[in-house]
Structure 1
Amino acid sequence: MQTRLALNDGQSLPQLGFGLWQVPQDQTARVVREGLAAGYRLIDGAAIYGNEAGLGEGLRSTDVARDEIFVTTKVWNDHHGHDAARRAADESLKRIGVDYLDCLLIHWPCPDHDRYVETWRALIELRAEGRVRSIGVSNFMAPHLERLVGETGVAPVLNQIELHPRLAQADLRALHRRMGIVTQSWTPLGQGRSFDAPAVQAAAARTGKTPAQVILRWHLQLGCAVIPRSTRAAGLAENLDLFGFALTDDDMAAIARLDAAERTGPDPLLFS
């Protein structure tokens, strides 16, 4: 059964959702419709993915009520700054065709631009206006989070970060816990780089599950929210089938030892 995680603003979100990164625009509506039919209730999008219109089409083609679906999108790097971030939110709302967003994130901190605090203030305003219910960030590191809270007094509800067995982010996850921020994992399967690891293979053999299911279960047992991606109905169903088994403490410890601080994506301290 799906678990919901409490957010620091009084809202909550489904722990397991699905992402729309690299889903072609002409397939997005179908993927959203099939994901909702399979039982997902969290959809993670972004302006830069180029498929927000398809996300909206998928929402309108389902019988699932809008208030049961948690919709996230993100402000891209070229819309940092107060006025630009507000325009980005307006554009996303229009493309998706919804009256409000469940969560709006700053996609990257872009520290070289040094405008993420100003951008964050715009998101705080949007939340106060009811156009966004929750606000968070993505790819923020400890200094960025501490500065946001220090200058605005408002902590993000979540930080969506690259997280998988080869990049376990233990220190950042610990900071999130101290600050009341949910950790949400992107690229949770690490492009399959850990599928053949003995720790993952042993857990898969013991549970009768696939390596992907073992790794997604690892995220859930860490307490993270997680957003795997699939464009196939069978893949969506497999990624959702995580609640009838559990990893042992030994499994969790063995998978933790796979950490190699190995990124598949950009370095948040440098990317802009």
Structure 2
Amino acid sequence: MGILNVTPDSFYDGGKYTKETSILKRVETILDQGATFIDLGAYSSRAGANQVSQQEEIQRSVPITKLILKHFPDALISVDTFRSEVARQNIESGASLINDISGGLLDPQMLPTVGKLQVPYILMHMKGDPKTMQQNTQYNNLIKDLLYYFSERIAEARSHKINDIIVDPGFGFAKSLDQNYELMAKLDLLHILKLPLFVGISRKSMIYNLLGTDPKEALNGTTSLNTLALDKGAHILRVHDVKPAIECVKIHQMIKTNNTEI
């Protein structure tokens, strides 16, 4: 999944894709390099991000969905939003799935709306909201708490007839540096949920804070963690840099193909 942020304040590429020509060039690059999905975000979810009104998020995202599909009619667009009305308008404009960082907790109409739209739903773990999440890193047992959260949220989603659910453990969301790496180390335990596993760690602070660099210098760390995530059974990688991620996938698949017992 290649990231397309149409926000002025995203932590890595904020303000980079604001004009039609730059947006279409970015989409072309994402698709040419082999991504399956384009993740369209119009509300920055970085820690401490400022709130954006629903109307502004709609005005930022819906025209871009229409623009992409006008030029790339076969593109599969994931809409990164926690608001049901943003989700509805983008799906009705041709988007294919919803990527909700809140798991339906920030908008009580999100799960009913996705159920009515009958589209796949990426359900992420987070506590609080982007403004407050890094003040909410207390857990009794990180993995057990996540599994309890997902079992509860999945049951709620199912009750609204959401059939295709993808689980995102939420790296960087309401988790400390150590907790992010504990989560990566134990990522395979989430397979108990028996749902596709989604991982988004691209150029995040868990990488550059550990290595003492910055987002621009975090590609090598991203590639390392993407490889580890694949080895632990991740089904979808959400990335800024599609080509290196595709190379990870190809190499990992080759190793799996040849990993037969003698």
What TM-score, normalized to structure 2? 0.49
Q: TM-score, normalised by structure 1?
A: 0.47
